């Protein structure tokens, strides 16, 4: 938030847990902001690879005007602007609330889980400044940090450590919200957990985690890699890869310098998708403890938490990875074939699209263009469809596809690529003079689109129904009969069975990267 003549520091006592003192935040007259609030003890020393523990109580006034450190991570191929420095002591969250919010008129709460392939990102990235959402839509916004890469997603349970510690971080943050958000003017009975990419993968995973029951009442998953969840043997192989890079045992790595773990994370991040197209180095693990089974399997069985779900993907997901020349998604036809061969070996009998089915579902002339569609659908769209189909049996589901692209994104062949919807959800459309998103126009249309998305997202948080501004199409729930899908573009349109050809090519069996 930019300081000006109207900005003032305020000392308040919003944290209501016994033993916690007041916080000093900032109020600009429209939005109150508290940054860098510790929601768990520092996960360092003996607490590395352990479930998060409650923070130590405080009694003096704590400054909450600057962001806390973010999880250590390699340099991202896309500049993210993490908002602050990195440190292993990283379990902090940030709160934006309308200036007039109080416990007498509690507002719906939206808790954001950032993306970044489970190895990059933070809750303090400028893109996730919650001022527009909180101030313009009358909601309380919370963004969180969680442990990343080798610090958060390695399974060393065989060596006596806790598994899925990053998921446990998010659960700890949600418990903090449950216990404290009323002090910030938020309604603990109306908490929406929302995230994008890896953050959305955490959302769909927690929908299948028994320990998450009651911690959120709605969920939004934007471009979730819902099937990218490992079994214990695959998780152990990634842990072994990291240990080999370190030249250490798990017990020795427990005391290793954090810089060495970041280096080993970067090595695994590059190596795994190159050696096994379609797989990520770091993902949640089915550990039989926190995560009992694959989330999509639990969804298909009708056993996910019965909370309303808004879920969808972008039309051109894989175009970002082509633009970055990233190995994260298999885009070249050869990589697609290798991915299919490995899946067939791991899951014999699973329906994998034939060349004829691919030609029918992806009628592009060039093989590489078809491969972009296959990569987008195997990584994001079909996992979303499979999850939505299952979850719709237990709660209302609202499906979308984001198709909008600015003129410059069309020119450079990005289109509606992975993560391009984020600026519209947050309302932070232009990030500075070097931002090229609207250099060839489209800002007016983008502002209107952002207003529609923010209205639908925040109305969903408030009422569990994603109603749009007056005159916009009614967004009907997604069911296995009608398969209603909102196509978000210059103008929004509700379409029945939008994914029919692709869905028939892939079938109902869940293809997963386990």
* Catalytic residue set: 197, 317, 418
The span from the CA of 343 to the CA of 106, in Å, is 48
SS3 state at 278: coil
The span from the CA of 311 to the CA of 501, in Å, is 20
Q: E strand or H helix at 252, and its extent?
A: helix 250-253
Structural contact between residues 141 and 107, judged by C-beta atoms closer than 8 angstroms: no
The span from the CA of 58 to the CA of 47, in Å, is 20
Token pair for residue 244? 């080999």
Residue 130, φ and ψ in degrees, nearest 5: -85, 10
177 Cβ contact list (under 8 Å, min separation 6) = 109, 111, 142, 186, 188, 191, 215
The alpha-helical segments, DSSP class H, found in 247-308 are 250-253, 258-275, 295-300
SS3 state at 101: coil
The span from the CA of 299 to the CA of 387, in Å, is 6
Comparing C-alpha atoms, which of 151, 155, 167 is closest to residue 257? 151
300 Cβ contact list (under 8 Å, min separation 6) = 386, 389, 390, 510
In angstroms, the first-to-last Cα distance of the chain is 42
């Amino acid at each position: 938030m930019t300081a000006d003549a109207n900005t003032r520091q305020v000392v308040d006592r919003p944290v209501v847990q016994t033993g916690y003192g007041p916080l000093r935040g900032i109020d600009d007259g429209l939005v109150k902001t508290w940054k860098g609030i510790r929601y768990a003890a520092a996960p360092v020393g003996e607490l590395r690879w352990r479930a998060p523990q409650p923070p130590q109580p405080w009694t003096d006034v704590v400054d909450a005007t600057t962001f806390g450190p973010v999880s250590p991570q390699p340099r991202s191929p896309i500049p993210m602007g993490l908002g602050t420095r990195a440190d292993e002591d990283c379990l902090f969250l940030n709160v934006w609330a309308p200036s007039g919010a109080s416990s007498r008129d509690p507002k719906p709460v939206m808790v954001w889980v950032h993306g970044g392939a489970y190895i990059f990102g933070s809750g303090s990235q400028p893109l996730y400044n919650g001022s527009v959402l909180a101030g313009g839509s009358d909601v309380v916004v919370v963004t969180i940090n969680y442990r990343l890469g080798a610090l958060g997603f390695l399974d060393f349970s065989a060596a006596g450590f806790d598994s899925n510690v990053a998921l446990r971080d998010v659960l700890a943050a949600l418990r903090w919200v449950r216990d404290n958000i009323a002090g910030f003017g938020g309604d603990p009975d109306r908490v929406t957990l929302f995230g994008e990419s890896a953050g959305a993968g955490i959302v769909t995973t927690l929908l299948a985690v028994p320990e998450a029951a009651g911690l959120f009442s709605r969920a939004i998953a934007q471009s979730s890699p819902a099937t990218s969840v490992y079994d214990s043997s695959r998780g152990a192989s990634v842990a072994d890869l990291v240990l080999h890079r370190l030249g250490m045992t798990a017990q020795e790595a427990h005391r290793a310098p954090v810089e060495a773990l970041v280096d080993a994370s970067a090595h695994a991040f590059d190596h795994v998708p190159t050696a096994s197209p379609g797989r990520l180095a770091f993902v949640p693990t089915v550990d039989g403890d926190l995560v009992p089974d694959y989330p999509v399997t639990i969804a298909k069985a009708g056993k996910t938490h019965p909370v309303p779900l808004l879920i969808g993907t972008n039309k051109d997901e894989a175009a970002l990875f082509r633009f970055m020349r990233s190995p994260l998604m298999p885009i070249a036809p050869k990589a697609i074939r290798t991915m299919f061969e490995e899946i067939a070996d791991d899951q014999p009998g699973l329906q994998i699209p034939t060349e004829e089915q691919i030609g029918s579902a992806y009628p592009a002339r060039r093989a590489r263009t078809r491969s972009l569609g296959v990569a987008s659908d195997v990584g994001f769209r079909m996992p979303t469809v499979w999850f939505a189909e299952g979850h719709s049996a237990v709660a209302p589901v609202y499906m979308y596809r984001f198709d909008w692209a600015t003129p410059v994104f069309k020119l450079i062949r990005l289109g509606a690529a992975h993560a391009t919807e984020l600026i519209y959800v947050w309302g932070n459309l232009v990030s500075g003079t070097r931002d090229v998103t609207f250099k060839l126009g489209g800002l007016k249309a983008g502002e209107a689109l952002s207003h529609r998305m923010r209205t639908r997202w925040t109305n969903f948080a408030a009422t569990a129904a994603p109603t749009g501004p007056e005159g916009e199409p009614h967004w009907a729930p997604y069911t296995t009969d009608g398969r209603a899908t909102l196509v978000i573009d210059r103008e929004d349109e509700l379409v029945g069975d939008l994914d029919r050809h692709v869905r028939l090519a892939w079938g109902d069996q869940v293809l997963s990267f386990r």
